[in-house]
Amino acid sequence: MEDLDRWLAENVMGYTPIRGYTNWKTEHFHPTSSIEQAFMCEEKIKEMDKGSSYVKALVKIIHDEWCIHNNLTLIGVYYLIHASPLHRCQAIRKAVEG
């Protein structure tokens, strides 16, 4: 997941690596495994006015993962609000990339 972590650091959070050095922020930034850091990315998505696209992408990922059919059932809502950091990060990337 390092590639996704790095992509989020650069394209969502605006962190830039320093030539010849590893940026301490990207080195310690792992939103695919940290719910707190995934939440930070969600907040940036909101600032980027990509909230609707993000939610649609997250619903699709959860739907595909848990086979929730047609409507978002109550159990589907449960899975949605308990989405893993990885699921959230995948949805954020889809929202940004369109």
pLDDT at site 34? 96
Burial (CB < 10 A; 0-12, 13-18, 19+), residue 48, is: middle
pLDDT at site 96? 97
Report the C-alpha gap between 93 and 98 in whole angstroms. 8
The per-residue pLDDT for range 24-74, each reduced to its tens digit, is 555 688 999 999 999 999 999 999 999 999 999 998 888 776 655 555 566
Residue-range domain boundaries for the chain:
2-97
Higher pLDDT, 62 or 95: 95
State the average pLDDT over residues 12-27.
70
pLDDT at site 2? 83
